Amino acid sequence: MIINPYESAKKKIDIAAELINLDPNTLEYLKKTERALIVSVPIMMDDGSLEIFEGYRVHHSTLRGPGKGGVRFSPFVTLDEMKALALLMTFKTALLGLPLGGSKGGIRVDTKKLSNRELEVLTRRYTMEIINMIGPDRDVAAPDMYTDSTTMAWMMDTYSMQKGRTISGVVTGKPIDIGGSIGRAEAPGTGMIYLLRHLCQKLNYNLNKMSVVIQGFGKVGSVVAKQLCNNSCNVIAISEEEGGIYSPTGLDIDMLIKWKQQGNLLKDYESKNSSPITNAELLSTECDVLIPAAVENQIYSGNADKIDCKIILEGANSPTTSQADEILEEKEIVVVPDIIANSGGVCVSYFEYIQDMQSYFWKLDRVNKEMKTILLYSFEEIFKFSKKTDSSLRTAAYAISANRLAKAHELRGLFP
C-alpha cells in the first residue's frame, strides 16, 4: 500500500479542525502550499559524465515569519513528501510559539554513490537554483536526512558569495566555528529525553526501569540511545535501514556507536547475548517505549495492531499514519507526536538563528535550559488540552497550532 505523505498530513489537520470547529475557509488555506519550486541540478561527475538530479524547495506557510525547514538528500525524495514535511514544520513552529513558518527542501539522490567533491558541487548548485527562495528573512534551511553541518557550511558559503558578504543566518545546523550553535546537533535527542522523562513522571512510570526499542540509529536515534543508557534505561533493540540488533538483556550503546563509526552495519554486530532483527520485527517487539526515529509512514494500518508498548515517542517526522493513530488509540498506547517530540531540533535552530542575527552566542547550559522551558511548556498545553477535549496528544497539538495559525490569518487579512 502506497501512502501519500501529503494527504496523510492533511488528514491530521482535518481531525484537529473538526475538534475546534475551525472555519472552513481557514482550513482550506492551511491545507494549501504557498509556493513550491522544482529544479534541475546538473553536475559533472568525477568520471566526466553529466548527471542531472531533481531538487525541490517548498514554502508551506510564512504567516508567522520566515520559513524554516530542513534539506533532505535521499533517493526517495518526492514533491509530496516535501509538501508534507513543510506543513508539519508550519504547525511545529506555531505550537512552540516561534516566529517562523514551515518549509522543506531536498534532492532525489543516493549520496552513498557520490564522492565528496560531487556532493559539494551538488549542494552548491542546488543552493544556486533555490537562492531566490531562501534567506534569513525569507526561508532558513537546516540539516535533515543525509545532510549535515558540512552541507550547511557549503550552502551558507554559496549564498554569501552571491550576496557579497557573510550571511550566516541563511541556514542553521552549521559548524560552530562559522556561526553554528552549541547543542544544535544533539538537540532533537536531548529534547526527546526531556519530554519522555516529564511524561513518565505524569504517568507514574519509572523511566530508569523501562525497556526501549529504537528504529533508526542516525543523528536522532544514536543520541537518544546514548542518553537513555545514561539514565539507566534498558535499550533492547535498535535498527537502521539494513536491519538491526536485539538483546533482551540490553545493548551496549557505546560499543554500537563505535561499531557504526567504523563503517559497519548494526545487523553484523555479534555478541553472545544479541541477535539480528528486521525492521518489521523490531516494531512489533514487546517493550515499554518505542521510538521510531527513521523515516515516515513506518507505523501504518497494516502493522499498528502488532505494536506492543506503553509509549511511542516519535523521533522521525510523520512515522505514524492517521489510520494507525486510530488503532493505537484503541490500544491505549500514548503517542507523543513528532510535532512536539522531535521539536528540540527546530527550537535550537531558532536559537542559532537569533544568535547569528545578534552576533552573540550562548553557552550550552543556556541553550538546553531555554529549550527545556519551551518544550515542557508546550507539552503541558498539549496534555491539558488533550484531557479537556478527550482527544489524542497529536490531535490536541494540531488543534493548538491551528488556532494560532488561524489567528495570524485573521489578523493579517487576505491580500488584496
Q: Which of 160, 126, 124, 155 is nearest to 142 (CA)?
A: 155
* 193 bridge partner residues: none
Distance CA 127, CA 60 (A): 19
Max intra-chain CA distance, the chain: 69
Q: What cell was used for 60? A: 508551506
With residue 54 as reference, give the H or E element that holds it: strand 50-61
Distance CA 146, CA 252 (A): 25
Q: Which of 69, 84, 102 is nearest to 6 (CA)?
A: 84
Q: What are phi and psi of 341, to 5 degrees?
A: -60, -45
Identify whether the C-beta of residue 188 lies closer than 8 Å to the C-beta of residue 342. yes
Q: Which of 95, 9, 33 is nearest to 346 (CA)?
A: 95
Of 10, 83, 104, 174, which is the active-site residue?
104
Distance CA 410, CA 19 (A): 19
Q: Which of 416, 401, 406 is nearest to 98 (CA)?
A: 401
Q: In what order do the strands lie in the sheet with 334-336?
A: 275-277, 243-246, 234-240, 211-215, 289-292, 311-313, 334-336
Identify whether the C-beta of residue 288 lies closer than 8 Å to the C-beta of residue 309. yes
Distance CA 159, CA 127 (A): 7
Has 104 been annotated as catalytic?
A: yes
**Secondary structure, 3-state, 263-299:** CCCHHHCCCCCCEEECHHHHHCCCCCEEEECCCCCCE
Distance CA 217, CA 266 (A): 9
Enzyme catalytic residues: 104
